[in-house]
Amino acid sequence: MTRRGPELAPGMTTIGFIGSGMIGGTVARLSVAAGHRVVLSNSRGPETLQDLVAELGPLATAATAGQAAEAGDLVVVAIPVKAIGDVPAKPLAGKPVLDTGNYYPQRDGQIEVIDTGALTSSGLLQRHLPDAHVVKVFNNIYYRHLASLARPSGAPDRTSLPIAGDDAAAKAAVTAYLDSIGYDAVDAGTLADSWHQEPDTPVYGAPYGPFSSETGRPASAETIRTALAAARRS
């Protein structure tokens, strides 16, 4: 049965961040630019985030992971897959959780349930957070391209990002949030389908241009759908 998550009210939203590195920091900048509050955390403590908070201004605060999880209407998890067990589960119950992670065995070690195809990396996060609503997003785009390709709603060169999740209302909330920060969403299916947007698939990185490009290139919804459809499991 599909679980129903909350719809987000229009206007200012609080976005919690568990992990505030390259992707997390970029999403935080886009969020503040769109008028959202952000509550940042990392594995080293709030005091290490003061420079980023100062850069982002009065809409940003630093906190512990548990506090960021508690504060967020949506919560972005931007950490290595090997650290999934450190994500606080209780304060995320009922919330959309945006999973930006990718499984890299050379960094994360071998994880059998992912290696065998029993779970995707986002499926593993969902198993750890049984009462949250995990949505895979932001994992397939270089952080510099993510920073530069945001466009107003309706812009002819607006870029699309794939999202995958098991909860329709959570995906709708994430779609609305993406729209607010300058992106369209392409529904890539369930968490079990999210391998279509993982590393070594056609939609991973390539539609937005080479990593050597600072600004990237826009990728339409049609481009993203075509790339998702071309994915093959090895």
pLDDT score at 12: 63
Looking at residue 11, its pLDDT comes to 57
How many whole angstroms separate alpha carbon 120 and alpha carbon 33?
A: 32
pTM for this entry: 0.94
Q: Exposed, middle or buried: residue 9 (CB in 10 Å: 0-12, 13-18, 19+)?
A: exposed
112 CB burial (10 A radius; 0-12, 13-18, 19+): exposed
Tens of pLDDT along the chain (234 residues) come to 333 344 454 556 999 999 999 999 999 999 999 999 999 999 999 999 999 999 999 999 999 999 999 999 999 999 999 999 999 999 999 999 999 999 999 999 999 999 999 999 999 999 999 999 999 999 999 999 999 999 999 999 999 999 999 999 999 999 999 999 999 999 999 999 999 999 999 999 999 999 999 999 999 999 999 999 999 987
Helix (H, G, I), strand (E, B) or coil at 109: coil
pLDDT number for residue 15: 98
Position 233 scores a pLDDT of: 87
The pLDDT assigned to 4 comes to 36
Q: Are 25 and 90 in contact (CB under 8 A)?
A: no
Residue extents of the structural domains in the chain: 14-229
C-alpha distances in angstroms, 32 versus 137, 143, 183?
18, 16, 15
Q: Report the Cα 193 to chain-centroid distance in Å.
A: 16
Looking at CATH, the fold of the domain delimited by 14-229 is given as: Rossmann fold (3.40.50)
